[in-house]
Amino acid sequence: MAAMATALITGGTAGLGRGFAEALAAQGHDLVLVARNRERLRDTADALSAEYGVGVEAMPADLVDADQRAAVAARLADGDRPVGILINNAGFGLKQRFVGGDLEAEQAMLDVLVTATMRLTHAAVPGMVERGRGSIINVSSMAGWISAGSYSAAKAWVTTFTEGLSAELHGTGVTATVVCPGFVRTEFHDRAGISKSGIPGFLWLDVDQVVRDGLHDARRGRLVSVPGAQYRVLSTLARYAPRPIVRRASEARKR
């Protein structure tokens, strides 16, 4: 049997990324974890290798920084240490409005959500195609189907990019899957300073559910993974309702 693939996970120290790391380690995959906070990276790597007996590389990198992004890309392109699963997960939201907001914060969000996803995928895929197997999992959001500011626009890019990638990879043995969760209990909202109090309980998903469904869908080669029955209904509405109605509903949500 072929050796278990190594998985590289951006943002693998918290929230969804940490969940993906834990689930894949439990299945016996070696890991490469990318995040900024070195101490947390080391603690996470130590904890996962002690618990599951897998190899865990801690790779500190700020995906806003072009040189540090390039170092992660070089790790992905290294044919001597092949990475068979890439999870583009790192990300954050902004509380600000776009008009009059901090432009550098907008750029940083785009750098992590879009540029890092594009460049890391570009680095990882050729080796996967050559080996005839591999999996790209891009963490997008339900937000990509509505019109809730520049975060929505960036996630729309992630979703559409993954659709195109999947089509291009057809028949290669490499799959691309986009995970589109709604609200998930992670550090995301606290980090952005976004209040969680107005969000009804039935809309919250657990990390474990998103991770389980995402990995299941990726393994089956499915393109889109929408965890949770409530979001399968809502995503159907968001994707197939006339766009003017989606825009109106998105505005109402923000008020």
Ligand X SMILES: NC(=O)c1ccc[n+]([C@@H]2O[C@H](COP(=O)([O-])OP(=O)(O)OC[C@H]3O[C@@H](n4cnc5c(N)ncnc54)[C@H](OP(=O)(O)O)[C@@H]3O)[C@@H](O)[C@H]2O)c1
Cβ pair 131, 82 in contact under 8 A: yes
C-alpha–C-alpha distance, residues 210 and 54, integer Å: 23
Alpha-carbon gap, residue 219 to 186, rounded angstroms? 24
Residue 226 lies near ligand X (rule: CB under 6 A):
no
Residues 44-73 that bind ligand X (CB under 6 A): 61-64
- Reading phi first (left if > 0) and then psi (alpha if -120 to 50, else beta), residue 2 is in beta
User: Residue 37 or 130: which CB sits closer to ligand X?
Assistant: 37
For the beta carbon of residue 102, count every other beta carbon within 10 angstroms: 10
Of 9-17, 214-222, 224-232, 237-245, the segment contacting ligand X by CB under 6 A is 9-17
Q: Which residues participate in catalysis according to the annotation?
A: 151
What does the alpha-carbon distance between residue 55 and residue 61 come to, in Å, rounded to a whole number?
19
The site that binds ligand X (CB under 6 A) totals a number of residues, namely: 30
Does residue 39 touch ligand X according to CB under 6 A? no
**What is the distance between the alpha carbons of residues 57 and 233, in angstroms, rounded to a whole number?**
39
E strand or H helix at 87: strand 85-88
Which part of the chain contacts ligand X (CB under 6 A), choosing from 30-38, 128-136, 162-170, 229-237? 30-38
In the shown chain, the binding pattern of residues 111 to 150 toward ligand X, with x for contact by CB under 6 A and - for none, equals -x--------------------------x-x---------
Determine contact, residues 145/159, Cβ cutoff 8 Å: yes
Pick the binder of ligand X from 85, 184, 211, 234 (CB under 6 A): 184
Task: Give yes or no for residue 232 binding ligand X (CB under 6 A).
Answer: no
Q: In this chain, which of 58, 86, 90, 226 binds ligand X, going by CB under 6 A?
A: 90
What DSSP designation does 32 have? E
Binding site for ligand X (CB under 6 A): 10-11, 13-17, 34-37, 40, 61-64, 89-92, 112, 139, 141, 181, 183-184, 186-188, 191
